[in-house]
Structure 1
Amino acid sequence: MAAASGELPTLGGAAPTLVVSVRAEDIASGHGQAHVEGIAEPVTLDVARHIACTGAVQRIVTDARGRIRQIETSDRVFAHHQRRAIALRDGGCIIPGCRVRSSWCEIHHVTEHARGGATHTDNGVLLCWFHHRTIDSVGWKIRMNGGVPEVRGPYWWDATGRWRAPTTSPPQLRDRLQRRVQ
């Protein structure tokens, strides 16, 4: 969001970009390291995945000597109109009890883009920075049911394991209340 604001400096007309280098065989095996431009120490593949999750991915294939052989760009970032629609539907971070409003949230691919998940409103949900970074490690589960997100909490939060359709969106909450009254 900050890079798209138009208020930050640009490099050659484009927003500043974080460059991460990962070997294809490391991604395929799930083991190895990634390198972030300007940082001497390698980072984990999980860090590289999180960086890729909120930005565009450009694959650059080089040969053993370093010659660029192929460049691919994948449009996997949710567009502004998709963000507004998802923000209206979700209202903010969809993890129950989290009060981070939509303008401070990131959009998470429910089915990872790397696993074929589409960059579509039926596959995107709002998560705050903290929940986006920890969603795979603390027991929260997210699924889409007819284009509506559902959340199941970890055992310590809800021992029943019930799926819930969370939202803090005022129009969604109003509609739910009206359905209950009828």
Structure 2
Amino acid sequence: MVEELTQAGDAVAACVDDASWALAEDELIAALDAAHRLEQRLAAVKLALVREIDGRGTARAQGASSTAVWLRERLHLTISTARRLVDLAAALDAGNPGIRAALANGDITVDQARVIADTVATVHTAADAQAADKAVGVLVGWAGQFDPALLRKLGTRILDHVAPDIADAAAQAALEAEARRASRDRHLTLSALTDGRLRLTGILDTETAGLLRAAIDPLSAPSGPDDQRSPGQRRHDALGDVCRLALRTDELPEHGGDAAQIVVITSYDGLTRQLGSGTLDTGLHLTPETVRRLACDAAILPAVLGSASQPLDLARQRRLITGPLRRALVLRDRGCAFPGCDRPPRWCDAHHIHHWADGGTTTLTNAVLLCGHHHRHLHHSDWTVRLGGDGHPEFVPPAWLDPDQLPRRNHYHRRT
């Protein structure tokens, strides 16, 4: 076998140096098909070798804790890839000669073989060996038309074809088993990075996934033709918007006796001089720009601290743009006032046109509604905002965008 594989390797190596540009189009396509078929046939050989190595205990004999770990080191694979390789090799060896033969003939891909093996195992459990054998034939036939994802989806109703008398009961049992797995596997992990950011990982069950998509999908669309954020960045910002909305509802449970909130600690002088960074109550640090943006629409709680930063006097908090003033702002702007934005008022912050920390007043003539994205954008760009002669906000673009710097307005929100 080693000699034959070496000869096959030499033949493949010779093809690598061939001038594919010289092939006619039909020859080029035929060569691609042949290379793909050969890749699957070699995969069948590789899986058979992996199964034999695993069965002999070669990995443990050589000091590895498992075959997957041994393969990771030997073939330089990721551990997850190595485990899938061992699992598939075992599945194809466990009474699935039809799948193994289809892969060896190049009729299916490795990914399709994995889907078929999983589906056949389910059929064997729900029905019997005869139905499982029928399922192999049906699925291998479908593999000639469908990719692995669609093949897996079609496989959920394979019993309709091979064992229709128990299909409905088996489908219900499979659905219940899937629900149990989803409930068992659900989790959300928040990992703090050293620079203050947070890594978010986890698995959501079907219902929660639907809720998340329903909440963030409408907010993940580009905010306009100039929106340069990637899809991942837009989803990130949408999640932040959802959290802000939840915090504004006053319906979240109290945390430590206070309403759910974020707490930023900064000095008054630093805030007014636009130089002071801030610290969250969790100990993470914020840039001066972020502190000033958060101060636009926040509860301010003045405190007198001693030399060791211990609280000596704590005043009553006073809110900035809330109550009747915010309602008046909503009636005027109807939503995010930035040109081209359609975000409604509930997604918006109240932004001081002349910053409160710079002596700006908390009045209707010094405020504008901005969604989270455009609030951040205004604080970190050369756009400026002012009130026009009719009392409605207008935005002046930077000179690099419009040399004439003609003021722009939001025409999305209908005004009467």
Name the TM-score, length of structure 2 as normaliser: 0.37
CA distance in 1, matches of 2:319, 2:404: 35
CA distance in 1, matches of 2:337, 2:372: 12
Match of 1:87 among 330, 345, 349: 330
Contact 2:339 2:409 in 1 (8 A): no
Over 3 Å counting, the alpha-carbon distance change for 1:119 and 1:23 in structure 2 is closer
Q: Which runs of 5+ in 2 are unaligned?
A: 1-244
Structure-2 residue corresponding to 1:178: none
Structure-1 residue corresponding to 2:392: 148
Matches within 5 A, 1:26-175: 26-27=270-271, 29-39=273-283, 41-73=284-316, 75-145=318-388, 147-172=391-416
String of CA shifts for 1:7-51, please: whole Å, max 9, x gaps.
211246641232222244544554353211114x42212222222
String of CA shifts for 1:131-152, please: whole Å, max 9, x gaps.
1012032221101245322211
Comparing 20-29 and 52-61, the one that deviates more? 20-29
Q: Report the Cα offset of residue 155 of structure 1.
A: 2.6
Over 3 Å counting, the alpha-carbon distance change for 1:120 and 1:42 in structure 2 is same
String of CA shifts for 1:37-69, please: whole Å, max 9, x gaps.
114x42212222222222111121211134422
Contact 1:76 1:113 in 2 (8 A): no
Q: Which runs of 5+ in 1 are unaligned?
A: 173-182
Determine helix, strand or coil for the equivalent of 1:126: strand
Comparing 160-169 and 123-132, the one that deviates more? 160-169
Structure-1 residue corresponding to 2:253: 9
Name the TM-score, length of structure 1 as normaliser: 0.78
What count of residue pairs does the alignment treat as equivalent? 171
Contact 1:92 1:167 in 2 (8 A): no
String of CA shifts for 1:106-134, please: whole Å, max 9, x gaps.
11111111122222221111111011012
CA distance in 1, matches of 2:412, 2:305: 46
RMSD between superposed Cα atoms in Å: 2.5
Q: Report the Cα offset of residue 4 of structure 1.
A: 4.1
Contact 2:280 2:286 in 1 (8 A): yes
CA distance in 2, matches of 1:98, 1:59: 35
Contact 1:142 1:149 in 2 (8 A): yes
Contact 1:107 1:127 in 2 (8 A): yes
Greater percentage in helix: 2
Sequence identity (%):
32
Structure-2 residue corresponding to 1:177: none
Over 3 Å counting, the alpha-carbon distance change for 1:155 and 1:120 in structure 2 is same
Amino acid in structure 2 at the alignment position of 1:35: T
Greater percentage in strand: 1
CA distance in 1, matches of 2:400, 2:341: 16
